[in-house]
Chain A
């Protein structure tokens, strides 16, 4: 590959839009934020390629956190939810075959983790992890329970709004992203210093899932819609690309 146009496939990341490394109100960021300027370069194959995850890695209940840790015939406690959306790139193109891994606290705001110390109880039927791979049209969906908000040792009285963590792989390692989904109407959102690391209300809004009555299943579960956007590839790359991938 000695064609110069093959390089720099992905649009540069908008670092003004993305959160700063240092967000002083989020105490953990103080000693963990690099001080020097990031070195910027165009993407090359090292970032334009990415591991492949086939649908064959998925187990039958990986997409269903309500039952994937539960004893036979039982299910997790909490309001039942369908979370769905579409993964697109910045150019608006759907991203198929994107692996999405999610994790969250239980309905009481307690994580199943050895470092977790919150006094709310564990739910014996809830593990808190799930994963899906987007369909050809970039859509995904999974079932879970509404996670609870919880206190955390940041300031003297800090609370996290209810949220679900998302880890996403696109088609280039340059698109690798971890983020969090919040819930429309949660009054803890504007108080949270992790949310506060975002530079604008627009950024907060993008991470806030909306109640979607159209997908709500009557007498079963409410639906929330959460769309995800990954870094975009320049048009020319796709035009020059062979088909069938």
Chain B
């Protein structure tokens, strides 16, 4: 049964790790803006960028 003492301690440490991650995320401003990233991830511009880069290269 004494293993439970250890496991409890370990699980608590793990949980403290998650708490730390949460606090870090807040301090880092991850919850400041909960709308823009949802729009940003849908932007698709890699193709056009490539094209324009190619054009520039050709000009040079």
Asked if chains A and B come from one complex, the reply is: no
